[in-house]
Amino acid sequence: MRLDPCNATLLSNRSLCWLRFGDPTRALKDAQLCRMIRPGWPKACYREGTALMLLKDYEKACGAFLEGVKLEPGNAEIEEGLREALESLKISGSSTRKDLLDQHQLVDAVN
């Protein structure tokens, strides 16, 4: 990383390492930097969404996964992440009735 600190692929891979080490805060930091460097890359959205899920910020995770789905429709991994984030948001009770309706429409669109 010292040789190429703006390499999006390295940041994405390091984000994954932080996730596997159980450090979602560092994983999120790398994923967000990755998205800044390469905003149109679905994998960066997926990494950010995954880190946010571990941090239990389901609403922001939904947003990150949704951005990834928009960038790469049909990506099963990102679509599954979105489904899980929506379900976690619903279970957590932090969404309103309108939010739940919007979320169901999103899931229907993904399916």
Token representation of residue 25? 């805060």
How many C-beta atoms surround the C-beta of residue 51 within 10 A? 27
| Domains defined along the chain, listed by start | 8-110 (1.25.40.10)
The larger pLDDT score, comparing residue 97 to residue 44, is at 44
* Integer Cα distance of 24 and 5 in angstroms: 20
In sequence order, what DSSP letters do the residues of 11-76 get, joined into one string?
HHHHHHHHHHTT-HHHHHHHHHHHHHHSTT-HHHHHHHHHHHHHTT-HHHHHHHHHHHHHHSTT-H
Report whether pLDDT(3) > 80. Answer: no
pLDDT for 8-52, tens place per residue? 999 999 999 999 999 999 999 999 999 999 999 999 999 999 999
